Amino acid sequence: MRSFAPKFALGCTLTLLAIPLYAQSFTTAPCNGDEGNTHNNSFFGNKEKVCELRRTTLPLVNGQITVSGKNGGIEVIGEDRQDIALEARVVAQESSTEQAKSLLKEIKILTDGSIRAEGPSSGSFFGLFGSSWYVNFRLHVPRHLAAQLHSENGGIDISNIDGEIFANTTNGGLTLRDLSGKVHATTVNGGLEVVLKGTQWHGEGLFAKSTNGGVTVNAPDHYSAHLIASTVNGGISVAFPVTTQGSIRNHIDTQIGQGGPTIQVETTNGGVSIGHD
């Protein structure tokens, strides 16, 4: 059976381009929970952290979104809606509260062409000897859309979406829940979790890969799929009945249930677990 990955990656690269979203005004409020204002003591000195929650609503243009995060995560949740509800948790850290608040004002959330954050450069050695900031994005979006998501030093969590999705992150985990359509997702230095729903994948299929991280896939008992799973340095365990020849320690290409669209997961350094909900 042919591998699903190469053709899939090319298709996503060509079709998911910059999207002409328009600048919006934001409502602001203090953050709640762990990202709220705190005082941090460390080997590198005292740091004050402040957090601001910024919200706005955006139109969905041409059924597509692009989100780019640096030093922060991205969460995308599909819902029965026509627009995009954007939440940005903006966190700034400095040697004093007043300096952190001043830094917070310099961090801008932009929505022209893509959703992203821009601000001043952090201090030396990842901000440990100076100022630092990051932004976590959460988007409530229409269930049917195309999305391009990119993050550095932050995870990506996508749920309840039917569409063409390209997602990649470095130094962060990937979580894919209840998706359908055509999905290509990769992470470097992070784990991969896939939660499948229903009886089979609806759409072209899923390709998901981790480098330096384990892979966990959970599906209902009677799920059907064409399953491809592989690892270089690790083992593979499959809780579903499968028919295969030889050892499946590092690679398996088989049918689960009645077969169906391809679910392909890979890792370089880590194990792969295919289990039940």
128 vs 218: CA distance, rounded Å:
39
Q: How far is CA 204 from CA 18, 158, 225, 262, 263, in A?
A: 23, 17, 11, 7, 9
Span 217-271, pLDDT tens digits? 999 999 999 999 999 999 999 888 876 644 577 899 999 999 999 999 999 999 9
Helix H segments across the chain? 5-15, 97-106
75 vs 98: CA distance, rounded Å:
30
Residue with tokens 């005292």: 46
Percent of the chain with pLDDT over 70: 81
Q: What average pLDDT score do residues 59-64 get?
A: 94
How many residues would you count in the chain?
Answer: 277
- Asked if residue 41 has pLDDT above 60, the reply is no
Per-residue pLDDT band for 47 (boundaries 50, 70, 90) equals: confident
Per-residue pLDDT band for 12 (boundaries 50, 70, 90) equals: very low
Q: What average pLDDT score do residues 185-199 get?
A: 97
Q: What average pLDDT score do residues 162-177 get?
A: 97
Helix H segments across 155-232? none
Residue 127: what pLDDT?
A: 47
The answer to whether residues 258 and 202 touch, using CB atoms and an 8 Å cutoff, is no
Per-residue pLDDT band for 17 (boundaries 50, 70, 90) equals: very low
Q: How far is CA 276 from CA 239, 254, 257, 270, in A?
A: 7, 17, 13, 20
181 vs 161: CA distance, rounded Å:
8
180 vs 164: CA distance, rounded Å:
8
Span 130-147, pLDDT tens digits? 689 999 999 999 999 999
175 vs 180: CA distance, rounded Å:
14
Helix, strand counts (H, E) of the chain: 2, 22
27 vs 46: CA distance, rounded Å:
30
- Asked if residue 19 has pLDDT above 50, the reply is no
- Parallel/antiparallel/unpaired status of strands 45-59 and 27-30: antiparallel
Weakest mean pLDDT among 6-15, 160-169, 220-229, 268-277: 6-15
Express the helix, strand and coil content of the chain in percent, nearest 5 each: 10, 55, 35
